[in-house]
């Protein structure tokens, strides 16, 4: 059986409004926890699927400290690909993309890349084989490589893939319908699992995201006769949520957040306008341009949320979205809030 850990989008050096320079210490702390977990579980491979660094201009002192972490765990093979924020006709750019002034081309970093347990895959050298495991890199595209000898074949891809592709996205099926046993995805900062691939999301969350996406952790992959993909949460990592405050339940939620949780209020019900100011604090802020919802707009917003949830449900059940939508509306007894919808779906359809 093959076991590996998969992470991406660590963004070492990113600026965080709450922690300032201390955020680097938080990132290094959880990077060490990742490797400590691997030692405890006898995991020999950790894959970083792009954007390890927030930019190619990170000070060498910081970059060296990160590679020292990898070097300290000599029993673990660390497989890294450069990332990038965008791909155009001129190539990939942004973050730690493999450009002429790439952080990975620095002489002091190249010394680390000669170590036997640190493996950098680039557009120039997109494959490597370690023991009986072959790794293949792709950069905003499906890896264009020949299959190597090996028992297991792992793709490491930084780019935009989806089961429902929008503009500039590639269908995940075109990536999964290949000889790869698992595809480590990077670029999106939230966890999302497909059939035999997953976005790990950021190792430590650093930006405001919707509640369901606001997590820190990594992906554990086990491959034998079948593939087992699990997300491992960091319970005590900082959490950054962006949310609309539409009812008393939302107010109660933000009232009871812990010290590790930070909230950006992106909108609120006009009926709750007088209450919102009572909750503004160091951990709770208003966005620069919050949306103020009238009652009718809230109903429309929740209906849109329902449609979003149903989109996944109908794909899984191969059902008609309008029929299920009407069925749910008729069975919620007027309690039309997004948590109520999600709870009902989990109970009724086990999703």
Q: What is the pLDDT of residues 291-302, one digit of tens each?
A: 998 877 776 776
Distance from C-alpha of 216 to C-alpha of 205, rounded to nearest angstrom: 5
The pLDDT confidence band at residue 328, using thresholds 50, 70 and 90, is low
Mark whether 304 and 275 lie in a shared domain.
no
| Contact (CB, 8 A) for 32 and 70 | no
pLDDT score, position 89: 61
Q: Which of 210, 233, 256 is the last residue of a domain?
A: 233
pLDDT at residue 154 above 60? yes
pLDDT at residue 93 above 60? yes
Mark whether 263 and 212 lie in a shared domain.
no
The pLDDT confidence band at residue 285, using thresholds 50, 70 and 90, is very high
pLDDT score, position 132: 96
Mark whether 73 and 111 lie in a shared domain.
yes
3-state secondary structure of 181: coil
Mark whether 305 and 323 lie in a shared domain.
yes
The residue ranges of DSSP E strands in the chain, in sequence order, are 2-7, 45-49, 77-81, 86-88, 91-93, 118-120, 127-130, 133-139, 152-158, 161-162, 170-171, 182-186, 192-193, 197-199, 217-223, 227-233, 239-245, 261-269, 284-293
Instruction: Please give the backbone phi and psi of residue 144, each rounded to the nearest 5 degrees, phi first.
Output: -95, 80
Q: Which of 233, 253, 284 is the last residue of a domain?
A: 233
Mark whether 160 and 181 lie in a shared domain.
yes
Mark whether 210 and 137 lie in a shared domain.
yes
Q: What is the pLDDT of residues 6-32, one digit of tens each?
A: 999 999 999 998 999 999 999 999 999
Average pLDDT of the segment spanning 88-102? 87
Mark whether 182 and 198 lie in a shared domain.
yes
pLDDT score, position 324: 66
Q: What is the pLDDT of residues 137-146, one digit of tens each?
A: 999 999 999 9
Distance from C-alpha of 23 to C-alpha of 111, rounded to nearest angstrom: 27
Distance from C-alpha of 298 to C-alpha of 304, rounded to nearest angstrom: 10
Mark whether 200 and 306 lie in a shared domain.
no
Cβ neighbours for 320, distance < 8 A, ≥ 6 positions apart: 314
Mark whether 106 and 213 lie in a shared domain.
yes
> How many C-beta atoms lie closer than 10 Å to residue 239's C-beta?
19
Mark whether 335 and 276 lie in a shared domain.
no
We report the CATH number of the domain holding residue 18 as 3.60.21.10
Rounded to two decimals, the pTM is: 0.86
Matching residue, tokens 């609120």: 268
Distance from C-alpha of 112 to C-alpha of 70, rounded to nearest angstrom: 9
Q: Which of 277, 293, 309 is the last residue of a domain?
A: 293
HSE value, Cβ hemisphere, 13 Å, CA-based, for 68: 7
Q: What is the pLDDT of residues 203-262, one digit of tens each?
A: 999 999 998 899 999 999 999 999 999 999 998 999 999 999 988 888 999 999 999 999
Q: How many domains, the chain?
A: 3
Q: 191: which 2 tokens?
A: 């966890």
Domain that holds residue 225: 2-233
Mark whether 77 and 205 lie in a shared domain.
yes
Question: How distant, in Å, are the alpha carbons of 57, 173, 277 from that of 207?
Answer: 20, 29, 23
Mark whether 306 and 324 lie in a shared domain.
yes
């Amino acid at each position: 059986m093959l076991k590996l850990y998969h992470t991406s989008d660590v963004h070492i050096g990113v600026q965080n409004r709450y922690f300032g320079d201390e955020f680097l210490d938080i990132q290094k702390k959880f990077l060490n926890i990742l490797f400590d977990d691997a030692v405890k579980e006898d995991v020999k491979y950790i894959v970083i699927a792009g954007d390890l660094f927030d930019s190619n201009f990170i000070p060498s002192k910081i970059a060296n400290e990160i590679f020292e972490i990898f070097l300290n765990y000599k029993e673990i093979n660390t497989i890294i690909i450069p990332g990038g924020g965008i791909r155009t006709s001129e190539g990939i750019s942004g973050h730690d993309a493999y450009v002429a002034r790439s952080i990975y081309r620095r002489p002091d970093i190249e010394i680390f890349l000669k170590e036997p347990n640190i493996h950098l895959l680039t557009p120039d050298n997109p494959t490597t084989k370690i023991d009986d495991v072959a790794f293949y890199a792709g950069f905003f595209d499906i890896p264009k490589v020949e299959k190597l000898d090996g028992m297991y074949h792992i793709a490491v891809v930084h780019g935009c893939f989806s089961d429902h592709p929008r503009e500039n996205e590639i269908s995940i099926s075109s990536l999964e319908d290949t000889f790869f046993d698992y595809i480590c995805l990077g670029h999106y900062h939230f966890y999302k699992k497909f059939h035999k691939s997953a976005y790990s999301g950021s190792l430590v969350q650093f930006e405001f995201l919707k509640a369901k996406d606001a997590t820190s952790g990594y992906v554990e992959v086990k491959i034998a006769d079948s593939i087992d993909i699990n997300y491992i949460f960091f319970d005590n990592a900082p959490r950054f949520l962006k949310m609309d405050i539409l009812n008393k339940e939302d107010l109660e939620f933000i009232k009871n957040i812990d010290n590790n949780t930070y909230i950006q209020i992106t909108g609120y019900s006009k009926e709750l306008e007088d209450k919102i100011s009572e909750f503004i604090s160091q951990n709770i802020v208003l966005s620069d341009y919050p949306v103020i919802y009238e009652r009718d707009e809230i109903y429309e917003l929740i209906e849109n949320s329902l449609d979003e949830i149903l989109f996944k449900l109908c794909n899984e059940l191969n059902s008609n979205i309008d029929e299920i939508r009407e069925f749910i509306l008729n069975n919620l007894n007027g309690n039309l809030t997004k948590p109520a919808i999600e709870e009902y779906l989990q109970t009724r359809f086990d999703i």
